[in-house]
Amino acid sequence: MLKARFTRRESLLQCAALGLLRFAPSVGLHQAVSALEAQERNIARKPTQWNEIGPFYKRLAPNNMQLRAPDDPGLPVTVRGKVFDIRGDTLAGAMIEVWHADHLGHYDLDGYRFRASLSSDPAGKYSFDSVMPGHYPARVCQHIHYLVTAPGHKPLVTQLYFATDPVFEGDPDRNYSRDPLVMSRELVRPVTLSGDPKSIQANVNFEVVLDRL
Amino acid sequence: MTRPFAAGLMLVGSLGAQPTEVATLATPAKATSFVLAKTGRLAGAVCEDRKLLLWTLPDGRMLQTIDLSGRDIDAIAISEDGARIAAGDHGGGYTVWATSTGARQMHIQMPFYPFALVFSPDGKRLAIAPVGEPVQIYDPASGQKRLALQRTTGGTAAIAFSRDGGRIATAGTDTVVRIYDARGGELLARNADFLLVPLTASFTADGKQLLAAGADKIIAWLDAANGNVIRASAKAADPVMSLHVSPDGSLVAALLMHADNMLMAGPLVISETASGRKVQEWLPASLALGGGWTEDGRLLVATATAKAIHIWRVR
């Protein structure tokens, strides 16, 4: 049998480059290819969209779900989610590394502020408390970086974005691509506010789906 | 590699001779990236109007204007002899042109845009690091893939060939520096001592050592045979964005980035390779777009204003 020169994804992208595969203007290239791949593989859940790792990943972050100190300025945010595989099964014991800028958009390179290495529980759940990241000057959107790994699965590097980000002007469907690094609308998550006006709190759900190796 | 990851906050006194502007290249729009052939006789730049411009140096004569068809360019590279220039765009398209004619020599489509792009010293191989993907090596004349290196988590922030073209070093976003046989792709050595992402690597002139640096803010001298750290610099105030070893191997230029705002200019620090002693330091008026050592030992660095590229001779 002839050995394929390209992966299925590469061959679809090549078709797109040559005009043999076309998309409606409302559908992004990578979204369309991912959807087509998912359909062909008959999977229950589409793997979470990959997003670049950025220059400030730091290994050996502490296992600590409380990233926010009591006197930290900024809007408190709690992120919760589950880790799934593409069959829709939850993944226990997945390692979830998260890191982000402080409320002013500064990354801690010398220490581990706003960095953590978490593990999903037996039900695949994870959560952490932090502050809403500020806008890093060279990036358009507020974001939290993720690196998720689990045995037997491809490592996932991605970023979480917030629908309330002023950059989206209340319409992330239309405006998510204002940040050229946001390659998929699905990474922009709704924000729910809770608490009272004196101690308001943002809540975000971010489920991640890992592809098989 | 021209993608500006960031730039540097550091109080810089003027140490050593101050650079002089040796060429001013008019541009129709602000330049966003710049490359210089090692011959020092050809320069290329991408501008905000999505044109790729080429000039001969030192006369500053416009050689080519290449329309990029609206594509946003993430990285450009030029061969040492200036015969070819390559660009990787945000849609994952990678193109090589002949600089003498502006003719397209290669175009391939990959899943993602580039972190890094570099020609081998003889210009016959083009190493591409698409974001999140393994480094791949192409023949720029035919567009044929020659090799793919190991898949690593997150991809590769920087690539460097040894002067003889026999080895290739990668600075991984998984924080690991790797050295491969550039012909067969075998992993020869690795270093996993960085905590943060190494953003740059450069072989010494004799190829015996590899200098690597990044968000850890130190420069590490690695034994190229086994990857072990031979020595490390003192911690700088900011991350190191790029390293450039002089042709005779005696000096290393380190461009620092401003970690809190990568769009701000960072200082260029020149040190003796052997001792690490700092001999010159310069803070450009604006972000350094690119440049490097020429084969006759000059260090040229480009900055941009709205309608011009300014080329500074630093050494």
Residue A184 has a pLDDT of: 92
Chain A interface residues (partner B, CB cutoff 8 A): 9-10, 13-14, 16-17, 29-30, 50, 52-53, 55-60, 105-107, 109, 137-138, 147, 149, 155, 157, 180
Predicted confidence (pLDDT) per residue in A103-143, tens digit: 999 999 999 999 999 999 999 999 999 999 999 988 999 99
Nearest to B93 among A9, A17, A59 (CB): A17
Which tokens hold the place of A198? 């004196």
Read off the pLDDT band of A31 (50, 70, 90): confident
Nearest to B215 among A13, A14, A56 (CB): A56
Which of these, B104, B144, B96, lies nearest to B123 by C-alpha position?
B96
- Element at A31 (helix H, strand E): helix A29-41
Using the beta-carbon criterion (under 8 Å), do A57 and B197 form an inter-chain contact?
A: yes
Residue A28: C-alpha distances to residues A156, A168, A169, B59, B260 (Å): 20, 17, 20, 44, 31
Percent over 90 (pLDDT), chain B: 91
What chain B holds in terms of domains, given with CATH numbers, is 2-313 (2.130.10.10)
DSSP per-residue letters across A115-160:
EEEEE--TTSEEEEEEE-----TT-SS--EEEEEE-TTB--EEEEE
What is the length of chain B? 315
pLDDT at B15 over 70: no
Prediction pTM value: 0.89
Q: What is the mean pLDDT of residues A174-190?
A: 94
Q: What is the pLDDT of residue A4?
A: 57
Q: How many CB atoms lie within 10 A of CB A165?
A: 24
- Rounded CA gap, A149 and A55, in Å? 19
- Interface predicted TM-score of the whole assembly (ipTM), two decimals: 0.91
Residue of A108, A95, A103, A206 whose CA lies nearest to A155: A95
pLDDT tens by residue, B105-119: 999 999 899 999 999
Q: What is the pLDDT of residue B103?
A: 97
Confidence of residue B12 (pLDDT cuts 50, 70, 90): very low
Q: How confident is residue B7, by pLDDT bands cut at 50, 70 and 90?
A: very low
CA A90 to chain centre: 17
Q: What is the mean pLDDT of chain B?
A: 93
